[in-house]
Each structure stands twice: as C-alpha cells, then as structure tokens.
C-alpha cells in the first residue's frame, strides 16, 4: 500500500513532512527509527522515516540512508523524498548521494535530486543562492550556531557542492517564474549536461507549486529534496488527494519538555503562566553524576509527577535546564566519563523519556506533548511504539498525531521542534490536545 517514502534526518522533520502529506488525505505513519519492520507499516500510504542522522559523520550518515532505502524502497513507491533541515544542518549531500546511489543501483536509469530549500511557512526563503530565515541570511542567525551541526554559509549550492559527489547547479528565481515550457526545457538541458543536484530558488508557496507542477512532466526519475513544502506540493500535483479518515480521543495531558534553548525556556514559562499547571523536574547534573544518583533522581521525579497528575489536567515533566537552571556545561562529564556530548545528551534524553513512559503506561494520560525531535524519539522508544500516525499540522514544524501503546490503547500526541515557534508555541500544541480530549 506504500506509495510515498520520506527519509528524514530527524523526527521533527519526519513528523512535519508527514503531516503535510496527511493533510492531503494520504494515510501517513512517522516511523521513529528506520529499523522498524516495514511489514508492520504496510497499511499506510506514506511512510515518513526518522533516520536520526543529522549529527552523524558523513560516512555513517551515507550508510544509514542506504540501509533505510534498502529496507523501505520498492517498485510500489511512486514518490521518494529526502527531507533536509530548513536551516541546512546535517549531511545534505552525502545523504542525497546515498539515496540516489541506491535507486540508480536498483534500476536501469540514473536518478537526480530536485532540491527546493525554501520553506515559506516557516520563514525560510531562497533567493540569490542565499537562504534567509525570517529575512536574515542563515549564517547570521542562531540556527547557524547549532553546537552539534553549525552552518557556516547561507549558500545551499555551496553546501551541496562541498558535500555531494554529483554535479550541482542552481536555477534562479527569474527562471523559476518564467514561462512553464521554458523552465521545463531548462531543467531538461541541465540534466543532459550531467547535473544531478538541481537547486531551485523560491520565495513563496506559489513558486514551489509552480516548480512541482512543471516537474510532473519530467521524464527523468528524481527524488524530492526539501524541508517539506516541495514534497507536499509535488505529491499533490502528481498523486492528487488521498482518502484518509479521522479518528480518536484521550484524557489528561503530559507535557515532556527536554529542550534547553532560550526559545524553549520562554515557551515553557508561557505554558506555566497560561495553564497554572504544576510540574516535576529532573536535575540534569544529578542524572550525570552517577548511576545511583540518576536512579534516585528519576524515582523522585516519578513520585512528584504522580502527585501533579492528581490535581491537574495538564502535567509537565521538565529538565532543570529547561526552566530553573542555566544551561550547564557537559564538558566536565565528557572528560570525566570519556563520553561524547552526543552520548551524554542521549543519557539525559533517555532518563526523561523513561520517567515519561512510566507515567503514561500507568494510565489517565490521553494526550502527550513533546518538544525536540531527540526527546520525541526517546519517549516513543521507551514506550516501544514504532511510529506516529500523523493527523494534522498544528503549525509549521509542529504536528498532531497518535501513538499506540503495547496494551493496544491509542493516545494523542503533539510534538514540535525544540527551537520552533513563538512564545505561545507550546501552548498552541497543548490547546490542540485539549480540543482532542474534549
């Protein structure tokens, strides 16, 4: 039944692009990791797979995409999408190469990548080979200072030329907005000249819709590469609308907040002000000091969360760095324990996820909110749920859906990227869940 395959480098991206496809009426599942059995997802028309590959090195990221494509690709797939970060973080070139290599290896034809970095709904526009974030060139924004994957350029073309072994070319905005036949002819010519990564400038959704419409007439096989808008537009143009039906409900809400950036802190403060909800906290330093202190801290948070649940519709589970403490340096733990920053972050995420999963499985929670793709993956893994049934885009890079627990119960889920949205972003997600519960 699978017709659309999306491979994303993190769960937030997998969810958001999946939500855009679900909005078109195609039954969609967001797989929290690529090792889930594809046969378990056969009932879905669109599979959006989280590869969790953004912070991997180039070689490992390539291998991850190749392995995922080997598991999920097949003759029944009508549309392939390689979802990339809207701020160009990660292994853009090597991951596209891996999917193109796999598809070209499987078939009789060479494949190309049609790349549209713009995401106007989230304030990402692409003009003059500069990716703008809310009007500011990417390299001058906070997104470029990501501690794991900093971005040193605003040029998407430069990223692909540095990271991919394939010839990369840019089609500027003037050509994108030109006559339909002229654009189609131009694309065909650059393909004949050997280009396999073709980047398109776009500022508006109308630009993206126009690119998608023209490419429905392209006879050369290609994958869609973008943060989500182009994949949705091309799905609509090529496959039309699906026939997905609505479902389901819940009771109390648990908000699991593990993002520690300043944006998330402001959003968390706003949620506390608006809901008056109580919360349980996990002290990050206690989680890392020793295994015994970690277990004691988790037990204390679990007990506090049970008390919070008794008197509140909305309960909140937080890391200390998300609200009370300043962002702590992990350097001392990295040196003491000989662990990478990535491994330390995983340890923190798994701790909050285990406390959350225990609370959810005890019952009464019919809705769960998570912020940050890493936290969402950790919670879904702790619950042993293989995927998220995507229902709705709440706002760009925030989605609503459902997950099934091991006992067969379905609960509603809202999740967003850790740095996504204004001060009311978490409140909007919780309000979405409250409406579902009603």
Which DSSP string corresponds to 258-281? ---SHHHHHHHHHHHHHH---EEE
Tokens, residue 98? 């891996």
| For range 313-330, the mean pLDDT | 76
Enter the DSSP assignment of 129.
T
| Residue in the block written with tokens 């995983």 | 346
Would the pLDDT of 161 be above 90?
Answer: yes
Tokens representing residue 257 in the block: 């907040």
Maximum pairwise Cα distance, the chain = 68
Mean pLDDT across the chain = 90
d(CA 101, CA 294) in angstroms, rounded, equals 44
Q: Angle between the 92-106 and 156-163 helix axes, to the nearest 10 degrees? A: 60
Residue-level pLDDT at 247: 38
For the cut 90, the answer to whether the pLDDT of residue 210 exceeds it is yes
Residue 128, pLDDT above cutoff 60? yes
Contacts of 144 (CB under 8 A, 6+ apart): 87, 138, 150, 151, 152
Which span out of 138-142, 230-234, 264-268, 419-423 was modeled with the highest average pLDDT? 230-234
Backbone angles phi, psi at 233, to 5 degrees: -65, -40
CA distances to 23, 48, 55, 151, 417 from 146, in Å: 30, 24, 11, 7, 14
DSSP 8-state assignment for residue 21: H
Residue 188 makes CB contacts below 8 A (sequence gap 6+) with 218, 220
Between the alpha carbon of residue 339 and those of residues 56, 146, 229, 346, the distances in Å are 15, 20, 38, 11
pLDDT band at 143 (very low <50, low <70, confident <90, very high): confident
Distance CA 13, CA 100 (A): 20
Residue 132, sorted as left (phi over 0), alpha (psi -120 to 50) or beta, turns out to be beta
Measure the CA–CA gap between 151 and 159, rounded to whole angstroms: 9
pLDDT band at 325 (very low <50, low <70, confident <90, very high): low
Contact 372, 256 (CB under 8 A): no
pLDDT at 393: 93
Task: In whole angstroms, give the CA distance from residue 124 to residue 227.
Answer: 10
If residue 409 lies in a helix (H) or strand (E), which one and from where to where?
none
Rounded distance, CA 319 to CA 273, Å? 18
- Between 247 and 215, residue with greater pLDDT: 215
Interval 8-28: pLDDT, tens: 999 999 999 999 999 898 999
- Distance, CA of 358 to CA of 341 (rounded, Å): 26
pLDDT above 90: residue 386: no
- Other beta carbons less than 10 A from residue 326's beta carbon: 9
Does residue 149 register a pLDDT over 90? no
Mean per-residue pLDDT, 127-145: 92
């Amino acid at each position: 039944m699978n017709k659309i395959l999306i491979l994303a480098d993190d769960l937030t991206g997998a969810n958001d692009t999946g939500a855009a496809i679900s909005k078109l009426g195609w039954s969609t599942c967001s797989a929290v990791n690529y090792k889930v059995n594809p046969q378990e997802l056969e009932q879905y028309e669109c599979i959006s797979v989280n590869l969790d590959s953004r912070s991997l090195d180039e070689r490992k990221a390539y291998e991850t995409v190749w392995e995922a494509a080997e598991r999920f690709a097949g003759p029944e797939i009508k549309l392939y999408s390689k979802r990339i970060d809207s701020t160009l973080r990660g292994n853009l070139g090597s991951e596209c190469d891996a999917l193109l290599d796999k598809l070209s290896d499987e078939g009789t034809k060479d494949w190309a990548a049609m790349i549209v970095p713009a995401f106007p709904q989230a304030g990402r526009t692409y003009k003059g080979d500069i990716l703008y974030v809310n009007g500011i060139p990417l390299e001058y924004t906070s997104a470029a200072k990501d501690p794991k994957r900093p971005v040193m350029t605003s040029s998407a073309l430069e990223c692909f030329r540095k990271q991919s072994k394939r010839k990369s070319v840019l089609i500027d905005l003037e050509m994108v907005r030109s006559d339909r036949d002229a654009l189609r002819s131009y694309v065909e010519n650059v393909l004949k000249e050997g280009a396999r990564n073709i980047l398109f400038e776009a500022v508006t959704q109308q630009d993206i819709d126009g690119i998608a419409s023209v490419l429905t007439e392209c006879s050369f096989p290609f994958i869609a590469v973008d943060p989500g808008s182009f994949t949705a537009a091309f799905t609509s143009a090529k496959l039309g609308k699906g026939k997905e039906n609505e479902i389901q409900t819940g009771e109390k809400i648990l908000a699991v907040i593990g993002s520690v950036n300043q944006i998330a802190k402001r959003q968390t403060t706003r949620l506390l002000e608006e809901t008056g909800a109580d919360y349980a906290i996990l002290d990050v330093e206690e989680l890392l000091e020793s295994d015994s202190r970690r277990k004691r801290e988790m037990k204390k948070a679990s007990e506090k969360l049970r008390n919070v649940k008794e008197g509140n519709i909305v309960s909140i589970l937080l890391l200390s760095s998300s609200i009370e403490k300043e962002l702590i340096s992990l350097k001392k733990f990295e040196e003491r324990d000989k662990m990478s920053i990535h491994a330390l972050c995983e340890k923190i995420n798994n701790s909050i996820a285990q406390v959350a999963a225990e609370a959810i499985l005890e019952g009464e929670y019919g809705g769960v909110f998570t912020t940050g793709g890493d936290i969402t993956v950790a919670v879904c893994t702790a619950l042993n749920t293989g995927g998220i049934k995507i229902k709705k885009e709440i706002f760009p890079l925030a989605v609503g859906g459902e997950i099934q627990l091991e006992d067969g119960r379905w609960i509603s889920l809202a999740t967003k990227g850790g740095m996504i949205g204004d001060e009311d972003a978490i409140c909007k997600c919780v309000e979405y869940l409250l409406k579902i519960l009603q």
